């Protein structure tokens, strides 16, 4: 079976977003794109999520005794309506909330702004044994910040190297980072924005500022392309997941996570007590 990571990984210098069709389904098992694709994906993602839950428990257990620094971070970036929330819901459905640390990043607060851009990120990283989810991330500091000139080019252009150093340092300290860009088309974004406007229960998700961001589509695509190409490293590769089809998107991200956990292969720790003796004591007592 092909490793989906090889199919979706960004090869530095090589990736042009315009060449990735957001409706495509790369790496999908043979014969799965047909009319039962949605149901197949729902079942498959639920099954993968159960596997992730089993891995999560072992990871958590192995960190309990301080025996490991291992931890996992799913980092999601996307244009508005790219499906970050839906993806998180789907892939974490079977996991224990107690072992997940999910964080969303909005515009920095005054306090956050008074520190360097990685300060709030470091504080939000999952501890040993945890699975972290970043809804947006330090990449906003080379995306929205660049597109809106919130700092000068002399500042943001230095950040790619700083990000690479930071991620390499974290990877060396036990963090497996799965960085995913959910890649939607401009036409799909329009459909999804319209759907939000047409549904009163979705109005809370709509922000008139979304249209300003949409008008800067090309600038964002360029900023994404640079971030992907400059920050897809061996320690922390980027994956571009075509995301117009939600069923493919969920399957792809769940599968990437499964591969990450399989590499870690967490194990339950050995008990530091004599199991047989404890059992005998328990049976002897009332
Ligand atoms: P989402 O769109 O992810 O569901 P919000 O509607 O709260 O969540 O949007 C978060 C906003 O915060 C986005 O517009 C994003 O560009 C902005 N943001 C995140 N990080 C930064 C940053 N470092 N600097 C400026 N704006 C940021």
At residue 35, does pLDDT exceed 90? Answer: no
Atom 25, ligand 1: which residue's CA is nearest?
Answer: 107
What SS3 class is residue 229?
helix
From the list 64, 102, 45, 103, the residue with the least C-alpha distance to 250 is 45
Q: So what's the pLDDT on residue 30?
A: 86
At residue 12, does pLDDT exceed 70? Answer: yes
Percent pLDDT > 70 in the chain is 100
Q: So what's the pLDDT on residue 65?
A: 75
What SS3 class is residue 101?
strand
Span 260-276, pLDDT tens digits:
999 999 999 988 899 99
Q: So what's the pLDDT on residue 1?
A: 60
Find the range with the poorest average confidence among 12-16, 143-147, 149-153, 212-216: 12-16
- The neighbouring-strand residues paired with 241 are 182
In three state form, how does the secondary structure of the chain look? CCCHHHHHECCCCCCCHHHCCCCCCCCCCCCCCCCCHHHHHHHHHHHHHHHHHHHHHHHHHHHHCCCCCCEEEEEEEECCCCCHHHHHHHHCCCCCHHHEEEEECCCCCHHHHCCCCCHHHHHHCCCCCCEEEEECCHHHHHCHHHHCCCCCHHHHHHHHHHHHHHHHHHHHCCEEEEEEEEECCHHHHHHHHHHHHHCHHHHHHCCCHHHHHHHCHHHHHHHHHHHHHHCCCCCCCEEEEECCCHHHHHHHHHHHHHHHHHHHCCCCCCCCCCHHHHHHHHHHCC
75 C-alpha to ligand 1 centroid (Å)? 14
Is the pLDDT higher at 66 or at 56? 56
At residue 114, does pLDDT exceed 90? Answer: yes
Q: So what's the pLDDT on residue 33?
A: 82
265 C-alpha to ligand 1 centroid (Å)? 34
Pairing verdict, β 100-104 and 175-183: unpaired
Q: Can you tell me the mean pLDDT for 48-60? A: 96
138 C-alpha to ligand 1 centroid (Å)? 11
Q: So what's the pLDDT on residue 58?
A: 96
Q: Can you tell me the mean pLDDT for 99-113? A: 97
At residue 43, does pLDDT exceed 90? Answer: yes
What SS3 class is residue 23?
coil
93 C-alpha to ligand 1 centroid (Å)? 24
Q: So what's the pLDDT on residue 243?
A: 98
Closest atom of ligand 1 to 80 CA is 2
Q: So what's the pLDDT on residue 32?
A: 83
Q: Can you tell me the mean pLDDT for 158-168? A: 98
Do residues 23 and 242 make contact, with C-beta atoms less than 8 angstroms apart?
A: yes
Give the predicted TM-score (pTM) of the model: 0.96
The two three-digit tokens of residue 260, written as one number: 């990450």
Span 172-199, pLDDT tens digits:
999 999 999 999 999 999 999 999 999 9
Cβ–ligand 1 contact at 87 (below 6 Å): no
From the list 164, 158, 165, the residue with the least C-alpha distance to 238 is 164
Chain mean pLDDT for the chain:
96
């Amino acid at each position: 079976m092909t490793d989906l990571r090889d199919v979706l990984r960004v090869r530095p210098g090589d990736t042009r977003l315009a060449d990735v069709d957001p409706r495509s389904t790369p790496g999908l098992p043979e014969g799965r794109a047909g009319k039962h694709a949605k149901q197949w994906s729902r079942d498959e993602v639920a099954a993968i999520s159960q596997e992730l839950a089993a891995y999560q428990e072992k990871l958590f257990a192995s960190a309990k005794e301080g025996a490991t620094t291992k931890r996992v971070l799913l980092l999601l970036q996307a244009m508005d309506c790219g499906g970050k929330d839906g993806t998180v819901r789907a892939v974490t459905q079977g996991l224990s909330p107690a072992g997940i640390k999910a964080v969303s990043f909005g515009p920095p607060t005054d306090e956050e702004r008074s520190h360097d851009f990685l300060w709030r990120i470091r504080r939000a990283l999952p501890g040993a044994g945890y699975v972290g989810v970043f809804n947006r991330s330090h990449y906003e500091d080379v995306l929205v910040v660049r597109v809106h000139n919130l700092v000068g080019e002399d500042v943001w252009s230095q950040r790619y190297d700083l990000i690479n150093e930071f991620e390499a340092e974290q990877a060396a300290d036990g963090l497996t980072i799965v960085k995913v860009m959910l890649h939607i088309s401009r036409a799909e974004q329009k459909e999804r924005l319209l759907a939000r406007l047409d549904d009163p229960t979705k109005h809370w998700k709509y922000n008139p500022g979304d249209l300003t961001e949409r008008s800067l589509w090309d600038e964002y695509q360029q900023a994404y392309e640079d971030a992907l190409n400059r920050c897809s490293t061996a320690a922390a590769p980027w994956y571009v997941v075509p995301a117009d089809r939600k069923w493919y998107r969920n399957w792809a991200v769940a599968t990437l996570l499964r591969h990450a956990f399989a590499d870690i292969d967490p194990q339950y720790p050995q008990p530091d007590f004599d199991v047989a003796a404890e059992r005998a004591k328990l049976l002897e007592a009332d």
